[in-house]
Chain A
């Protein structure tokens, strides 16, 4: 649904008319996730973002970046991108729904800063 059926006619790279936006986003996510992004500096342990578990104990989907408020370098987002598409698919298969409490908590936390 997000993603065009890849057995359809091949699209030339410069044609965007039929290309799914989510396809493009998925490609970008993969690019961001690769370790060699623009000669990535090695991140120290304390540079890691605190990512939430993608699912609650009951299997509901929740935002991974829910508790992240600061970012000091782009490369900290690599784990988010590399896990995003996998976890999205896994979450949908289970279809336990959304952990709205986690969503709301994250939003309130951020808005009240």
Chain B
């Protein structure tokens, strides 16, 4: 995207949670179009270098959270948001995302809890959303940045803990009984 300085903000402006006011717009088409724009956003960020779009980060975050919190948006669109979040974890330095995690995690929880209460039908878009959420969780667990962990602690109102040396982290974990201790 050589002219990305102009194109990116334009792409961003097309991403919105609000449904169209135009009563002639076909809702399914609209969701498809939203999904596509989110996919373009993900692609643009993945193709760029680290932190290339940092200046747009607040706007990107706001839009993504907006979409996740809007029920009227389809599961397919939500899935694209989770893909976008995975790209962000790879292309934006962890320290810039610290304040982002609490709200994202609470939305993630809703997906899993919803799927437990009301399991999505085989082959449904809801099922693909669960997969998208799992892939996001999968990556979170792989990356495990310290900022992410600290913000989860802080956001849950736990007593402030001093930053832990990475190598001693395991001492504070509650271990599932099957994990062998070294």
Contacts and interface: CB of A to CB of B under 8 A. Distances in A.
Contacts of A18: 156-158
Interface residues of B, number: 57
18 contacts: A1-B152, A2-B149, A2-B152, A18-B158, A20-B156, A21-B106, A25-B112, A38-B119, A64-B138, A71-B131, A72-B122, A84-B138, A89-B176, A89-B179, A90-B179, A91-B142, A107-B46, A110-B83
A1 B109 contact: no
A20 B141 contact: no
B178 interface: yes
B109 A20 contact: no
Interface string B17-57: 00000000000000000000001001100100000000000
B81 interface: no
Contacts of A32: 112, 116
A66 to B, nearest CB: 8
Interface in A67-85: 68, 71-74, 77, 80, 84-85
B142 A21 contact: no
A107 B90 contact: yes
Interface residues of A, number: 50
Interface of A: 1-6, 17-22, 24-25, 28, 31-32, 38, 61-66, 68, 71-74, 77, 80, 84-86, 88-93, 95, 98-100, 103-104, 107-108, 110-111
Contacts of A64: 138
